[in-house]
Amino acid sequence: MIKIPYSSDLHETSSRDVYVRKGSLKKKIGLDQINQLKSKKGIIRFEERTKDIDLSLITESEYMRGFLERMQIHEKPIDYLKKNNFIYNGKPRISAILCFCDRPQSVIKCGIRVYRYEFQKQSRQYEYSRERVSDQDAYETGTLEVLIKNAIDKIQSLLIEMKIQGRYPQKAIQEALVNAVLHRDYAIQDEIHIRIYDNILEIISPGGFPGNITEKNILKASRIARNPQILDFLFQISALEKDRDARLNQNAGEGIKTIFNEMKKASLADPIFKETDSENGRSVIVVLRHASAESYSKKVLRHLKENESISNKEAREITREEDKERIKNVFKRLEERGDIERVDYNAPKSKIRYRLKRKNLDSGSQGFLGI
């Protein structure tokens, strides 16, 4: 086996063609895909592009005046912007619009949409029916700092209305939202979407994982800042807060770890990070679940102490988990631990049931380790 390490550079052939690996094959890519790859690797950055808009939308904005006062900067807005590379060839960069324009959403899609869903349980058959409460949808706007704070306030108010405000650690929600705003791909014409259910909170941000980050190595991979100027700006703003917990951006590269740690402190299941395809391109979804890390296993074992056996469907009913594969993995862990066994190893998948492992059953007998 040959392992090729990840490279932050873009490599071309002698004829200036670029290829990507697809399984065991290689595929030549076009200009649009090359630019997407450059963006993913951090070679080109959308935040550095300029926009042909009136500079006064930034230099005379209410936010800019307040920002300079808070930072105790005694110079004209235009001078500050030039000195800090927010302007190029007399035009504002995308980063300047996002950070200082009172309503950047009038120039580029960069808002946050919040949706609330209600849970209903059918009376005759156990199943989830979540309906969107459309009259409580929210569209948050403003500069990045204002945008983040308004979205956090809206999420908290909805959690209170739904009487589930204590289910999720606030720092985990805040860090997940800040990460979405800081690391999303602003070249994609879409907003950040937040969906609040009774037992799940999802944050969907445009753009896939940057660099070599994947769902599996997200805690270990080296960080690549898709929007370093925006990241630096928010760090400066956060540094003004004396209370560390009130800072929007606390430690460089520590956001993901904070989310995991806060969920762990609350005895909740690990957050889920996944990359998906959508009509607007790739997106990263962060899922915060109101589920104890051990609750599924405990509920299954408690059920088996009172009942002879259990199926995947029955386990989903008692755990209120909709994902068949997740319950299948619970069964797998319990079986490998020696707590349960399959009732009939010849049963079809749809009829598989489990029971508590009998003490007189040899742990090395046929089928025990095979699931």
**Which is it for the CA torsion 46, 47, 48, 49, positive or negative?**
positive
Most confident of 125-139, 285-299, 331-345: 331-345
* CATH fold match for the domains 109-289 and 295-356: no
Q: Residue ranges of the domains in the chain?
A: 1-42, 47-105, 109-289, 295-356
Cβ(18)–Cβ(28) below 8 Å: yes
| HSE-CB for 36 with a 13 A CA cutoff | 13
List the alpha helices (DSSP H) in 216-367: 228-239, 255-265, 295-306, 312-319, 324-336
Give residue-wise pLDDT tens across range 283-336.
Answer: 999 999 887 766 788 889 999 999 999 999 999 888 877 778 889 989 998 998
Q: Does domain 109-289 have CATH number 3.30.565.60?
A: yes
Pairing status of strand 272-278 against strand 112-121: unpaired
Output the pLDDT for position 291.
75
Q: Looking at domain 295-356, which CATH architecture does it have?
A: Orthogonal Bundle (1.10)
More confident residue, 51 or 255: 51
Cβ(51)–Cβ(107) below 8 Å: yes
Predicted confidence band of residue 275 (pLDDT cuts 50, 70, 90): very high
DSSP string for residues in 213-242:
--TTTTTTSPP--SSHHHHHHHHHHHHT-S
Least confident segment among 40-49, 59-68, 171-180, 229-238: 40-49
More confident residue, 364 or 187: 187
0.85 exceeded by the pTM? no
More confident residue, 181 or 18: 181
Task: Give the integer Cα–Cα distance in Å for 35 and 48.
Answer: 14
Closest CA to 184 of 40, 87, 10: 40
